[in-house]
Chain A
Amino acid sequence: MDESFLEESEELDEKMSQSSQNIKRAIETVRTVREECRKTTTIIGDLNGKFKTSNACST
C-alpha cells in the first residue's frame, strides 16, 4: 500500500512538473504574442498617421 502510494505520488509529481513547464511556456508565448501585437499596433498606427497627414495635405 505504501509503495503504491509512493509510486503514484512520484508520478503525480512528474506530471505536475511537466504541467508547470507547459504553463511557463504558455506564459512566454502569450508575452511574445503581446509584444508582437504592440509592435503591429505601432506600425499600423504610424501608417494611419501618414494617411491623416496625406489627407490634410490634399485638403
Chain B
Amino acid sequence: MASSKLPTPVQHNLLQKLTEGFENNNKLTQTLIEEIVESEADFASVKTELHILRDNVKSLSEIIREGSGAASIITKIALLEQRLSVIDKWVEKQEEKEKENTEFKSVIDVGLVTIKTHLEEIKKHLEEIGERHDQEDKENQELVFEKKKTKISTTAERHNAIMKIVTAVAIAVVGLISGGSLASFCGQNSAKQKDKIVIVQPQVSASVSITK
C-alpha cells in the first residue's frame, strides 16, 4: 500500500506548505464570513431607515394629493396659479393704464404750454386795451371838461348879454322917461339889424350880439 509509505522530506515540506495555505485560506474565509455577518446589521439599519423614509414619503404624498384635514397641496397650488394669473392680468392692465396716463400727461403738458402762451397774449391784449381805455377816458374827461367849460362860459356870456340888454333897456327907459322921445328912438332903431340893437345915449352905449 502506498499509504503505508512515509513521505519523503520534500513531500513533507510541500504538504506542510499546503497545510499552511489551507489554514490561511480558512482564516480569510472566516474573516469574509464575519464581514458578511456584520454587514447584515448595516443592511438592517438601511432597511429600517428606508422603511421610515417610505412612511414619510407616503404621508407627504397624502398631504400633497389629499391634504391633511384641509385643502390638498395640489388644490392650493392650483388656486395660487389662478390667483397668480389674475394678478398678472391686473399688472398688465396697470402697465397699460400707466402708459396711457404717461401719453395723456405729455399731451396735457403740451396743451398747458399752449394755454399759457395764449394767456400771456390775452394778458398783453388786455393791458393794451386797458391802456387804450384809460387814454380814451382821459380824453373823454378832458372833452367833457371842455364842454362844461364852454357851456359855462356860454351861459355866462348869455347872462352878461341879457344883463347888458336889461341894463341898456332900463337905462333907455329911464332916459326916455326923464326927457327923451321914445317914439323917435324906436323908429330909428327898427330899421337897423334885427339881432343888433344899438342904443345911443348921451352917457351910455351898448352893443350885444345874440347867437341862436
Taking Cβ atoms with an 8 Å cutoff, the residues of A that contact B are 2, 5-6, 9, 12-13, 16-17, 19-20, 23-24, 26-27, 30-31, 33-34, 37-38, 40-41, 44-45, 47-48, 51
Could you give 27 example pairs across A and B, Cβ below 8 Å?
A2-B8, A2-B10, A13-B17, A13-B18, A13-B21, A16-B18, A16-B25, A19-B25, A20-B21, A20-B24, A23-B32, A24-B28, A27-B32, A33-B39, A34-B35, A34-B39, A34-B42, A41-B42, A41-B45, A41-B49, A44-B50, A44-B52, A45-B49, A47-B56, A48-B49, A48-B52, A51-B53
A48 and B32 form a contact (CB under 8 A): no
Q: Which residue of chain A is the closest to B60 with respect to CB atoms? A: A51
Q: Which residue of chain A is the closest to B36 with respect to CB atoms? A: A30
B46 and A17 form a contact (CB under 8 A): no
A27 and B39 form a contact (CB under 8 A): no
What DSSP secondary structure best describes chain A's contact surface?
A: helix
B56 and A51 form a contact (CB under 8 A): yes
Bound together, the chains give a CA A24 to CA B56 distance in angstroms of 40
* B11 interfacial by beta-carbon distance below 8 Å: yes
Bound together, the chains give a CA A14 to CA B39 distance in angstroms of 30
How many whole Å from B62's CB to the nearest CB in chain A? 13
